[in-house]
Amino acid sequence: MLPHEIEQESFRIIRSEMEANGFSEAELAVVVRVIHATADFDFQRILRFHPRAIEAGIEAIRRGATIVTDVRMVQAGISQAILAEFGGQTVCDIAHPEVREQARAQGLTRSIVAMRRNAAHIDGGIVAIGNAPTALLEVVRLVREEGIRPALVVGMPVGFVKAAESKEELLTLDVPYITAVGRKGGSPVAAATVNALLRLARNRQ
CA 192, CA 185: separation in Å to the nearest integer?
11
Q: From the candidates 36, 50, 96, 121, which is the catalytic residue?
A: 36
CB within 8 Å of 170: residues ≥ 6 apart: 136, 139, 140, 153, 155, 177, 179
Contact 99, 117 (CB under 8 A): yes
Q: How far apart are the first and last CA of the chain?
A: 29
Bin 39: left if φ > 0, else alpha if -120 < ψ < 50, else beta: left
Q: Crossing angle of helices 187-203/53-62, nearest 10°?
A: 70
Q: Is 96 a catalytic residue?
A: no
**What residue type is 134 in one-letter code?**
T
User: Catalytic site residues?
Assistant: 36
